[in-house]
Amino acid sequence: MVERKLDPEVARVISLVDQCKNFLLSGGAGSGKTYSLVQVIKEIINKNPNKKIACMTYTNAAVKEIQERVNHDNLYVSTIHEFLWGNIKSFQKNMKTSIVDLLLDENSNFVDPEGVINKDYFNSLGISIQYGEISRIRQGKISHDEVIELSAYMFEKHTLLCDIVKDKFPFILIDEYQDTHPLVINIFLESLKKSNKRSTIGFFGDSMQSIYDAGIGDLNKYLENQEVIEVKKEQNRRNPELVIELANKLRTDDLIQKPSEDDKAPNMQNGEIKKGKITFLYSLTESDSYDLKQIKNTEYFSGWNFNNSMQTKELYLTHNLIAYKAGFTTLMDIYGKDPIINFKNELNNKIKKEENPINENLTFEEVISLFPIKLKSKPNKDKLKIDVLIEDYKNKESYEELKNQPFSKVKKIYLDPACLIDDKKQDKDDTSKGSSKRDNLIKHLFKIQNLIQLYNNNSLNEFIRKTQFSIRNVSDKKRLKDIISKIESMSECTIEEVINYADENNLYKKDDAFQYFVNDNSYIFNKVKAVKFKEFQNLFSYLEGYTPFSTQHKIKGAEFDNVFVVLDNGKWNNFNFESLFTNECRTPSVLLRTQKIFYVCCTRAKENLVIYYHKPNVKVVEKAKAWFGEENVKLIDDL
């Protein structure tokens, strides 16, 4: 059998593995890091066929990709959360004690359940600790948010746990290290050191692509003291020449990419690197609004098909901006901009700061009167904030619904955009993540719409498994077709009407999870049920990858022929695109975060990249000319 030649970077990594040295394979966008990861795994298996390898990555989609490329009994591929849970779940006694310790620790992010906590709390309930989608610590249920902190605590405290993991997995590989929680880095490079067992820890990733707030994996300290040896992968197999040159200008480290030497690489054509196109468009009109439809009709988008989400992507900073474009603004406002719930959160924070215990059986209105919040700026200075809020009739309706309810119930109302839009797919073939934060109302709606999709795709076996509708004869088939057609035509009906229709016709019944949500979250349900169903249909299309829209956070690792990036701060303080170009920012972390997300956006393009900036100042335009080339910077006001 002919031996396959290893890439130079992979050969260097394998040499470090042979010496039992920890390593970092770093590579810029489009460098083929996943391909190298797979090569490393295969070579480790080839040299150590009887030893187990643990490979962790950030998403379930990445897990699936690696599993499809390497199929071996000794390879365990999972998300980081699944790996950590898999290694601590058997130690129930230690876990219960650790959770109590964390609940009693003021510096912990664990939330203290109602009631007195003692060491025997969980044992007295006779329950085991479980990991799932929701956190109900009083019931022994922890979620995504708690697993990492709990694991870090247990690995730090129990050397035996470190021994077991290193003994079981002599090779531990972590993909997309830059998106991992700092506690994860601490587990593998600090806690595991307490064990005398031998193991090699390998990291793969790119520091310029850490754009998730919760993940700031940093290996600098370990690189400096040589506890981790860096191997750089400088080739770029994805981007055309002009995008590579731009990307090198955007990087804030010393990694400089160069075109692939492989003639078969996607960015090569007839033995040469593709040139590609990069364009920076801007307008100086005074209006705060801009017509993207008109902009997309200009010559700079000639040949682009915005209806093909696999070839062309429009990238925005937040879901809020996309919600308007994709048509689910009302739903987004409910989950992200409810003024009364935001006020409730502010009130709750004030109560906590004053550290005065209150009777939570008091009504929401009574608690508001005990802890008045006044406005501090004109034109409503010194007025009660609640009085100003309810001048708006919609806010008044919301307040009237809540004011006489016990504060203990109102304080638990939780609204977050993640409950609506978590687990976004980039394309229709992607599989859902197991730890979605969608609430049970949105999940119920997804199940209804998914049945419509399965029926229309002729996936009848899966459809039958998931529906409660019985097909016994030809008449039933005709009736089912009518039911599907009816729901598809109910765009102007309310969400409640569609849920009821699906239930009454046995397409999808109201299950326990749905009923529990309605009973426990009437405030949220009352708002969502009145929204037109077409908004959910639009949301479904967006989340399932059927639209050309994406938030800039959700395309890391993806690639498209054509990429259109709209630089709009979206009233989000975490990013500042003006500072990106001027390098002037009061908050260094905001500048760095913005640099990284812009780098990720630009490096998605395989052929054409267009940036649009509304009302830039002179410094921004000058920097754009330096980055993009003066001939590629265009004022479009007169077009």
Residues of each annotated binding site: 27-34
Cβ pair 468, 506 in contact under 8 A: yes
Those residues whose C-beta lies under 8 Å from the C-beta of residue 374, and which sit 6 or more positions away, are 382, 383, 384, 385
The rounded distance, in Å, linking the Cα atoms of 131 and 139 is 11
Q: What is the 3-state secondary structure (H, E, C) of 426-443?
A: CCCCCCCCCCCCCCHHHH
Half-sphere exposure of 638 (CA within 13 A, CB side): 2
The rounded distance, in Å, linking the Cα atoms of 276 and 243 is 7
Select from 562, 537, 535, 529 the least CA-distant residue to 548: 562
524: left (phi over 0), alpha (psi -120 to 50) or beta: alpha
Cβ pair 519, 533 in contact under 8 A: no
Q: In this structure, are strands 272-273 and 130-131 parallel, antiparallel, or unpaired?
A: unpaired
The rounded distance, in Å, linking the Cα atoms of 278 and 242 is 7
Those residues whose C-beta lies under 8 Å from the C-beta of residue 148, and which sit 6 or more positions away, are 80, 81, 84, 181, 183, 184
The rounded distance, in Å, linking the Cα atoms of 639 and 30 is 34
Question: Tokens 């040139």 — which residue?
Answer: 275
Cβ pair 433, 59 in contact under 8 A: yes
3-state secondary structure of 515: helix
* Alpha carbon separation from 115 to 103, 191, 233, 241 (Å, rounded): 12, 33, 54, 62
Cβ pair 156, 184 in contact under 8 A: no
Which residues pair with residue 268 across a beta bridge?
Answer: 273
* Alpha carbon separation from 323 to 213, 316, 344, 420, 566 (Å, rounded): 21, 10, 25, 11, 14
Backbone angles phi, psi at 510, to 5 degrees: -75, 110
- Residues making up the binding site for ATP: 27-34
Buried b (16+ CB within 10 A) or exposed e, 119-134: eebbeeeeeebebeee
Backbone angles phi, psi at 5, to 5 degrees: -75, 130
Q: What is the DSSP string of 525-567?
A: HHHHTTSBHHHHHHHHHHHTT-SSEEEGGGGTT--EEEEEEEE
Backbone angles phi, psi at 358, to 5 degrees: -125, 160
